[in-house]
Amino acid sequence: MLDRTFFHARSQELKEELISIRRHLHQHPELSFQEVETTRFLIERLKKLGMEVRTEYSETGVVALLRGNPDGPVVALRGDIDALPIEEKTGLPFASKRRGVMHACGHDLHTTCVLGAAMILSGIREKLPGTVKFIFQPGEEKNPGGAIQMIRRGVLEDPRVDAIFALHSDPKFRTGEIGFKYGVMMAEADEFYITIRGRGGHGSAPHFTVDPIVVAAEAILALQKIPSRLVDPWDHVVVTVSRISAGYTTNVIPDEAQLAGTVRTFSKELARRVEQMMRKILHGVTMAYDAEFDLEYDFGYPPLVNHPDMTRFLAACGKDFLGENRCIEMDRPSFGGEDFAYFLERVPGSFFRLGTGNPEKGITAYWHSSDYTVDEDALPVGAGFLAFLAYRFLVEHAS
């Protein structure tokens, strides 16, 4: 059986190529479900590795199979490929060439690491006691997400996946570290859209109107009572109104105001209770001012819950690959959302954080910011560990 030394050495040999791949992806970001060039690039690279390539699971994105022993177990590695509608301000020589589009959440790194794992494992195909399925998924950043689309089209079947793993860049962890978490790791991420309907009129005569802006202001304050007064403090909830729009000039009270935002919870049941609380609050506030409302509540990705056995396995592999003190158990979940949760509802697996922060290099910016970047020294760490993780799973679960 191959040990960690092989995977360390091979990933370091590939370092410059991994950096080149990541920089290419970073320069050519594409928004959710528009990843046409990215998909074409991946297909070309995967075919050169002799992979069996499949594209029937989504309009963009690709799946590749690396078959060792056809009668052995099947492990999947997932990487998300989409970017965000953000104007990059890093000033890097390989900054985005697409105005207003940027890899500001590390998906270029995720994709590169999964492709790097494919490059490593394709070189030891004859030693694989099973099959590795590489899932390059579109649309992680846009609800309902690419994961559920691919699942409904059978990505976890033919061959049936026994376990699945994925990573996410994290500047809070230093390069060379990984973070793991048992149980709930990330929140359900819901969205809401509210329209407050009043009766407009002259700004000098508010008593002849039903001012939707004032009603909206009352509603925003009232909605904050959900986490502070209506939910058990142990049941963590975030209610954020992140957008407000109303009016078009100074002396006219408009007819309508629009609000939008997000709700984050760690259980599906609580998310559904919060929706009902919002409806009751909006009904009461608008009725008090003789206004009306519409609420569109979109339930998003479910909470991401890591499987205990697969997380224990991942942590053991991490300590072997990186060292005991570089494989760190996270003490609390994140309120961020992640559609890898859909995979984990159907297949045992685990999601982990790959350290990409390096304060000495000035790499500390957080996700979704215009100056976000990663320490490229993390690329061989991520690629090598994913390959090691997949190989070890196949070896330990082969009959």
pLDDT tens per residue, range 300-315: 999 999 999 999 999 9
pLDDT of residue 1: 86
pLDDT of residue 399: 74
pLDDT of residue 225: 97
pLDDT of residue 72: 97
pLDDT of residue 281: 98
pLDDT of residue 274: 98
Ranges of beta strands (E only) in 10-113 are 52-54, 62-67, 74-80
All residue ranges of the chain with pLDDT < 50 are none
Structure tokens at 277: 């609380």
CATH 3.40.50.720 fits 4-185+303-397, yes or no: no
pLDDT of residue 90: 97
Q: Fold identical between 4-185+303-397 and 188-301?
A: no
CATH fold of 188-301, please?
Alpha-Beta Plaits (3.30.70)
Structure tokens at 115: 């492709």
pLDDT of residue 195: 98
Give the C-alpha distances (Å, rounded to integers) separating 167 from 106, 345, 355: 10, 17, 10
Of 339, 376, 333, 323, residue with least CA distance to 353: 333
What's the pTM value of the predicted model, to 2 decimals?
0.94
The β-bridge partners of 65 are: 52, 133
pLDDT in tens, 170-200: 999 999 999 999 999 999 999 999 999 999 9
pLDDT of residue 353: 98
Rounded CA-CA distance 33/139 in Å is 5
pLDDT of residue 247: 97
Look at the block and give the residue holding tokens 């990186």: 322
- SS3 of residue 354 by DSSP: strand
Q: For the chain, what are the domain ranges?
A: 4-185+303-397, 188-301
